[in-house]
Chains A and B, each alone.
Chain A
């Protein structure tokens, strides 16, 4: 299989062949190209593929009517990428629904990972870190978020792992890319990054039965002083939150630390999206609000694994959803938002940042 960057895999769900033939209807409708390996596959997959044309039409209509809060506009989203057969897939790979995850008792109870669990999570985290670094290395003006998605996807499947977001509640891509006023859950598309943008890459990986979740925000070329300030504070508030992570700390105190630091710097903490437990499940207990004065239950204990991922806004803390894609969360005032995220393990002596940066990681754009 030709797996060079930019090559496509046949859209037919159970086919893993390289593909060069394009769907003519997609071309005619000027949708993002959909590739197929041969006529046979195209014919077989047509009943499913054609619904995509209709969906795109409806979505375009909604997009035209939508009241955007900032300058960013959605681009075209390419078709779903394939994952080779030998890779162990989560329950939503075909169904799109995390049914078992929602029903699990781990939504109520926080479990303590065994040494074997932790070893697997470390391996998973190494793949996640490598994938994020690979994505980071590709960030520059002119590159589309779709291209970065393909790089991250390829890195993850080349390491025999599954990109957790892919088809999770129907999410179409392997990575979340949140540009400028996007707070989180941005969908990679064909918009080229521009000089002065900030972009967050949010990577999640499923490997040996465990998930890991991490993200970072990068500069594209030369960015404004206010954007630099925002991104740096978003980074620092996560570090401050990690400093209090140890056995006996109350989960509710994480938000107090973040809120205090962020408000002192004249910025705002998003309230809608929270840190979460991670492990056998992509999202589970505990829920960790990033804002102060919250009543989140529970103490941190040895073996707990969870994410902290504060989303920091320049202006209002409020968010709205791009209702035409039902994923992209943007700031209500169109000002920028930045985020950093780690998966954290509570240890006897404090905590281990499972997704920590490596000496080989491309450096961040500011002094840390």
Chain B
């Protein structure tokens, strides 16, 4: 997920009625800088594949979208959506952004995992930004829903929509609660999804301010908990980190939805970035030098059944 000439994928998530389609229409109307295509992805895994609606800048519909040369192969590494996007880019090589609207009633994590394709596949498109839309005026009720919370935890950009229907106090409360399950997301406020659209096209993926914190947190909302760890790991190599994170995500009876970290790896010259969604994760080098000869790693985990003790045990065990 770094800066390249690849086509950038922007994923819009958010509950039904949060303003995703309004935002899409607004983007297509006001933006004139980029070549943009749109996928309205109103199918879910359970429903099987239905042709999603795909339109370009001029509103032309590509209905041949799912006639794939490589469709439906039993052991294909790439999922349907990514294959479709790749095929689309071959047909329209000038496309700079593809905006995908996710299903308002579904957990977007499987779609996110699919769009977060392996580096080794060398695909012409990459997931750049996840925008989470929130209908601020319904926040209190929706926050009770697990599916709503799952739609928010992955966002890089959180759009507090329907500002006009809220009191100032409500907004402050919403911001506070969002910080618990998505402390990393950048907050924007809007009425009818009208925002400075450059903030979407030029959103910085890695907003690592969260890692400036020094102390350990544990907070819980409903059944979703957040842990922030600041831990000295002078003797863990990159390969050992891979195994430890694998244990956390695959072996223990935890349900980790999101994991993010800045890791100190023994014998390396730079810090490493950890990114993970459910059972998929990646540890890659950053260009950040190791600060003050310190061997501190910082990890943020959002999920269920997680406790600080369990996580620490996995990291510090041999």
List the interface of chain A (C-beta within 8 A of B). 98, 169, 248, 250, 255, 259, 271-276, 283, 287, 289, 291-295, 297-299, 319-321, 323
Cβ of A295: which chain B residues have Cβ within 8 Å of it? 116, 118, 280-282
A283 touches B74 (CB 8 A): yes
B120 touches A289 (CB 8 A): yes
Say if the beta carbon of B251 comes within 8 Å of chain A. yes
> Which of B69, B76, B120 is the one whose CB lies under 8 Å from A293?
B120
Cβ of B120: which chain A residues have Cβ within 8 Å of it? 255, 259, 271, 289, 291-294
Cα separation A275 to B76 with both chains bound (whole Å):
10
B246 touches A273 (CB 8 A): no
Cα separation A320 to B121 with both chains bound (whole Å):
15
Return 19 A-B CB contacts under 8 Å, by A number: A255-B120, A259-B120, A271-B122, A272-B76, A272-B77, A273-B75, A273-B76, A273-B77, A275-B75, A287-B75, A291-B120, A294-B77, A294-B120, A295-B282, A298-B250, A298-B279, A299-B250, A319-B70, A321-B70
Say if the beta carbon of B243 comes within 8 Å of chain A. yes
Cβ of B78: which chain A residues have Cβ within 8 Å of it? 272
Cβ of B242: which chain A residues have Cβ within 8 Å of it? 250
Cα separation A81 to B250 with both chains bound (whole Å):
44
Say if the beta carbon of B249 comes within 8 Å of chain A. yes
Measured CB to CB, the closest approach of chain A to B109, in angstroms, equals: 13
Cβ of B30: which chain A residues have Cβ within 8 Å of it? none
A293 touches B119 (CB 8 A): yes
A289 touches B74 (CB 8 A): no
B75 touches A297 (CB 8 A): no
Cβ of B118: which chain A residues have Cβ within 8 Å of it? 289, 291, 293-295
Cβ of A273: which chain B residues have Cβ within 8 Å of it? 73, 75-77
> Which of A248, A271, A283, A323 is the one whose CB lies under 8 Å from B121?
A271
Cα separation A320 to B243 with both chains bound (whole Å):
36
Cβ of B280: which chain A residues have Cβ within 8 Å of it? 295, 297
> What secondary structure prevails in chain B residues at the interface with A?
mixed
Chain B, interface size category, equals 20 to 34
B73 touches A272 (CB 8 A): yes
Cα separation A169 to B74 with both chains bound (whole Å):
9
18 additional contacts, CB 8 Å, given A271-B122, A295-B280?
A: A169-B74, A248-B243, A255-B120, A259-B120, A272-B70, A272-B77, A272-B78, A275-B75, A276-B74, A276-B75, A289-B77, A289-B118, A293-B118, A294-B121, A295-B116, A295-B118, A297-B279, A299-B246
Measured CB to CB, the closest approach of chain A to B275, in angstroms, equals: 10
Cβ of A323: which chain B residues have Cβ within 8 Å of it? 69
Return the chain A residue nearest B279 by Cβ.
A297
Known contacts A271-B77, A273-B76, A289-B77; A299 and B251 CB within 8 A of each other? yes
Measured CB to CB, the closest approach of chain A to B92, in angstroms, equals: 19
Cα separation A292 to B78 with both chains bound (whole Å):
14
Cβ of B251: which chain A residues have Cβ within 8 Å of it? 299
Cβ of A283: which chain B residues have Cβ within 8 Å of it? 74-75
Measured CB to CB, the closest approach of chain B to A263, in angstroms, equals: 11
Cβ of B250: which chain A residues have Cβ within 8 Å of it? 297-299
A274 touches B121 (CB 8 A): no
Cβ of A259: which chain B residues have Cβ within 8 Å of it? 120
Cα separation A66 to B299 with both chains bound (whole Å):
53
Measured CB to CB, the closest approach of chain A to B203, in angstroms, equals: 23
Measured CB to CB, the closest approach of chain B to A355, in angstroms, equals: 17
